[in-house]
Amino acid sequence: MKVSETILGQAHGKDVVAYTLTNPNGISLTAMTYGATITELMMPDKNGKSENVILAMDSLDDYVKHRPYYGATIGRIAGRIAKGSFDLDGTRHQLIVNEEENQLHGGPAGLDTHVWDAEIEASADEASIHFTTTDADGANGYPGTLSVTVSYTLTAENEWKINYRATTDQPTLFNPTNHVYFNLSGDINKPILQHELQLNSAVFAELGDGNLPTGALLPAEGTPFDFRDGGKLAIAAEQSHPQTQKVAGFDHPFLLQHDTGKPDAVLSDAESGRSVKMYTDQDCVVIFMHNGAIDKYTIAGSPVIQYAGITLETQALPDAINQEGFGDIVLRPGEVYSAETIYKFEVQA
Ligand code: G6D
């Protein structure tokens, strides 16, 4: 497995390094130490043409300036925390809020804004980038010093494996994700509405004010949220349901069934022949369809179009600390947080 590296520039006074892992099948993964962010996933289409199938900015400075979250490691908490506050062991904690009265994606100095350290591990069959960072006690309002490792592994079987490990010296919260956007056409100016999604989920979380979960877990049966038998993403963009109307598509958490031996999700693009199978040990996947402009920026000289990409953000249910029955995202001293998500890339002629 081939490994190369390059220095992209500096952020927070530290060099930002990008590493490229290339497997024998012409698939390569590039990720940088700023935000432990994946910036390129090159793969061939059915005619052998290799293109980047994820959204990426033109430069490191654009990632820092616009914070698009593209491909970034999100934490301590992915998604929103209502009013940026929660009770933990009888103490009320107030986080730094960065989206009106709520906290989004770990706050203004979330893990995606860190310059992580990195180590490479490579063998004939796979190569890994082990990113590490420490989030100081009180950062963005969170208690405890959190030590995090995120490992990206590219295998000879065309898998991108993401493994998270974390420890803390005080009880705190941790629910990370990766915010990669896929566009399997390889063309950022082609909306993903003709992509096919097959999703093993029968339940989704209703969104209320501020795109926070209301706490209601709704059946997908008979709604545009039921992709168990597969369907084109255009179905979600038709906005035929109050919840798809609310956000012009999906921005929703889907509870995963984890059917034995089946991927949790399959995203495919018939025109290119490319597909990605998703497997995870997480309860849910948040699917966001880039429904509107995130900030005012261009990529390759053009503004980013609506539906330019789709995220498959595996995680615990958002705002779980404030919602009964949404799962436990508390990490305590002596515990080791671990989670794995695998994206497996395939091409059909
Ligand atoms: C919007 O509501 C969405 C989030 O889910 C997404 O992560 C963010 O844009 C980038 O706020």
Q: Of ligand 1's atoms, which has the minimum distance to the CA of residue 313?
A: 7
Query: Which residues have C-beta atoms less than 6 Å from ligand 1?
Result: 69, 211, 251, 288, 294
Give 105 Cα–ligand 1 centroid separation in angstroms.
Answer: 9
Q: Of ligand 1's atoms, which has the minimum distance to the CA of residue 288?
A: 5
pLDDT of residue 247: 96
Q: Which of 104, 246, 252 for a ligand 1 pocket mutation test, highest count of atoms within 8 Å of Cβ?
A: 104
Phi, psi of 98 (to 5 degrees): -140, 10
User: Is the Cβ–Cβ distance between 341 and 225 less than 8 Å?
Assistant: no
HEC string of 50-105 equals: EEECECCCCCHHHHHHHCCCCCCEECCECCEEHHHEEEECCEEEECCCCECCEEEC
Span 301-328, mean pLDDT? 96
> Does pLDDT of 163 surpass 80?
yes
Average pLDDT of the chain, as a whole number: 97
Q: Which of 73, 247, 251 for a ligand 1 pocket mutation test, highest count of atoms within 8 Å of Cβ?
A: 251
> Does pLDDT of 173 surpass 80?
yes
Q: Of ligand 1's atoms, which has the minimum distance to the CA of residue 179?
A: 7
Q: Which residue has the higher pLDDT, 293 or 69?
A: 69
pTM assigned to the model: 0.98
Residue 159 has which token pair? Answer: 């898998």
Q: Which of 286, 288, 307 for a ligand 1 pocket mutation test, highest count of atoms within 8 Å of Cβ?
A: 288
Q: Of ligand 1's atoms, which has the minimum distance to the CA of residue 104?
A: 11
Nearest to 191 by CA among 311, 308, 310, 70: 308
pLDDT of residue 231: 98
Give 131 Cα–ligand 1 centroid separation in angstroms.
Answer: 24
pLDDT of residue 21: 98
Atom 3 in ligand 1: residue holding the nearest Cα: 251
Q: Of ligand 1's atoms, which has the minimum distance to the CA of residue 286?
A: 5
> Does pLDDT of 270 surpass 80?
yes
The per-residue pLDDT for range 12-61, each reduced to its tens digit, is: 999 999 999 999 999 999 999 999 999 999 999 999 999 999 999 999 99
State the DSSP code for 313: E
pLDDT of residue 292: 81
> Does pLDDT of 223 surpass 70?
yes
Which of 130, 159, 252, 313 is catalytic? The answer is 313
Phi, psi of 159 (to 5 degrees): -105, 140
Q: How many CB atoms lie within 10 A of CB 101?
A: 11
The per-residue pLDDT for range 179-195, each reduced to its tens digit, is: 999 999 999 999 999 99
Helix or strand holding residue 255 (H, E): strand 251-255
Which of 179, 195, 252, 290 is catalytic? The answer is 179
Residue 15 has which token pair? Answer: 């060099």
The per-residue pLDDT for range 276-314, each reduced to its tens digit, is: 999 999 999 999 999 986 668 899 888 999 999 999 999
Check if 66 is active-site.
Answer: no
Q: What is the DSSP string of 168-209?
A: ESS-EE-B-EE--EE-TTS-TTS-GGG-EEEE--SEEEEE-G
The per-residue pLDDT for range 57-68, each reduced to its tens digit, is: 999 999 999 999
209 three-state secondary structure: helix
Helix or strand holding residue 316 (H, E): none
Atom 5 in ligand 1: residue holding the nearest Cα: 251
Torsion 243-312-33-163 (CA) sign: positive
Give 294 Cα–ligand 1 centroid separation in angstroms.
Answer: 8
Nearest to 336 by CA among 120, 222, 176, 168: 168
Span 219-223, mean pLDDT? 97
Atom 7 in ligand 1: residue holding the nearest Cα: 79
Sort 12 into a burial class: Cβ within 10 Å, 0-12 / 13-18 / 19+: exposed
The per-residue pLDDT for range 107-158, each reduced to its tens digit, is: 999 999 999 999 999 999 999 999 999 999 999 999 999 999 999 999 999 9
Q: How many CB atoms lie within 10 A of CB 27?
A: 23
Give 79 Cα–ligand 1 centroid separation in angstroms.
Answer: 7
Atom 1 in ligand 1: residue holding the nearest Cα: 294
Give 13 Cα–ligand 1 centroid separation in angstroms.
Answer: 28
pLDDT of residue 289: 97
> Does pLDDT of 235 surpass 70?
yes
> Does pLDDT of 101 surpass 80?
yes
What's the number of CA atoms in the CB half-sphere (13 Å) around residue 22? 10
Check if 313 is active-site.
Answer: yes
User: Is the Cβ–Cβ distance between 265 and 200 less than 8 Å?
Assistant: yes
Q: Of ligand 1's atoms, which has the minimum distance to the CA of residue 247?
A: 2
pLDDT of residue 260: 87
Span 80-88, mean pLDDT? 98
Give 122 Cα–ligand 1 centroid separation in angstroms.
Answer: 34
User: Is the Cβ–Cβ distance between 72 and 181 less than 8 Å?
Assistant: no
Residues 6 or more apart whose CB falls under 8 angstroms from that of 332 comprise: 168, 171
pLDDT of residue 79: 98
